[in-house]
Amino acid sequence: MSRTTDRRWVVPERGNRLVMRFALWLARTVGRRRLEWLLWPVSLYFFVVNAAARRASRAYLQRALRGRYRTGAVLRHMHSFAQAVLDRMFFLQDSTHMPPVRVEGREQLLQTLAAGQGCLLLGAHIGSFEAFRALGRAHTIPLRMLMYRSNLGGATHVLEALDPAYAGLIIPIGEVDTMLRVAESLGKGEIVGILGDRTPDTGRCVPARMLGGDVSIPEGPFRLALATGAPLVLVSAIRAADGVYDIRFEKFDVPYPSSRQGRGAFVQMAVERYVGWMEALCLRHPFAWFNFYDYWKDAP
């Protein structure tokens, strides 16, 4: 286990308020489906100006697509991200304009919640976590998001303006009592969502192998599960070819250790299970991976 100082993603999100406000106005006026043609020029623009994202995308796609990698794949990857950002605006806005969703494994989540210990819902920057949040709102499932908030830029502030309750549901990472808040929330039977594939610079990480390379995975979600005793459930929401979001809940089937001595081994096993889950998603949905920075540590 090591402590990393990885500042690469702790930078303000790209996209300024003015552009986002314009996009928002356009989205509301023109409508979601009629706006989609715009995504290609937008993706092309980012493809041209953002060399770092382009490099990161290529490095990732060469792993995920293997022999099937072609030059155009990077542009398609960026288009897929632009589509997710657009859909995110509608997920946050209101249910009448939301993209449609299909849900698989709902009983898994409901069973887990019935135990009364709340639930740690573990996702990744793959597909759209917003799709699940919107579903939660529609069904009044109490959901809070554990987020590293201080680095979020203008884009997120505008998105938050769409859903005034959004900010109140976020538990910001980085305060001494952050996890006390999480434990209290779980104690009330609420769901706490975590995207476990990135860490702020103070986070402790465990090395793992993913898509044939070395990655560094935060151990926080798994230590948190042990500290609170709350069950973990995996969630992904991926946009299918027909424009429907497939939301899938999956049991996290690594048993919690009975003693403190078993904790280290549990965290290692849990990280491997989590990485295996991410890897399978990447292979099935290669363009849904939204970490546009050099995620692999052994990159040339």
202 binds another protein (CB under 8 A): yes
Residues 66, 177, 265, 284: which binds another protein (CB under 8 A)? 177
Residues 228, 233, 238, 278: which binds another protein (CB under 8 A)? 228
Closest CB 296 distance from another protein, rounded Å: 25
How far apart are the C-alpha atoms of 15 and 38, rounded to whole Å? 16
Residues 14, 28, 58, 204: which binds another protein (CB under 8 A)? 204
Cβ distance to another protein smaller for residue 98 or 205: 205
- H-run or E-run covering 20: helix 17-30
Cβ distance to another protein smaller for residue 127 or 200: 200
Cβ distance to another protein smaller for residue 174 or 213: 174
Of 132, 87, 128, 155, nearest to 289 by C-alpha is 128
227 binds another protein (CB under 8 A): yes
- The answer to whether the CB of 30 falls within 8 A of the CB of 265 is no
Of 172, 183, 116, nearest to 146 by C-alpha is 172
Select from 123-131, 152-160, 224-232, 243-251 the region that touches another protein (CB under 8 A).
Answer: 224-232
Residues 19, 263, 268, 293: which binds another protein (CB under 8 A)? 263
Partners of 195 in beta bridges = 123
- Give the CA dihedral 160, 195, 248, 62, nearest 10 degrees: 110
Cβ distance to another protein smaller for residue 153 or 262: 262
SS3 state at 213? strand
Number of residues that bind another protein (CB under 8 A): 23
Which structure tokens are listed for 47? Answer: 């493809």
Residues 15, 142, 153, 174: which binds another protein (CB under 8 A)? 174
28 binds another protein (CB under 8 A): no
Buried b (16+ CB within 10 A) or exposed e, 179-192: beebbebbeeebbb
- Residues of the shown chain interacting with another protein in the complex, contacts defined by CB under 8 A: 3, 173-184, 202-204, 220, 223-224, 227-228, 260, 263
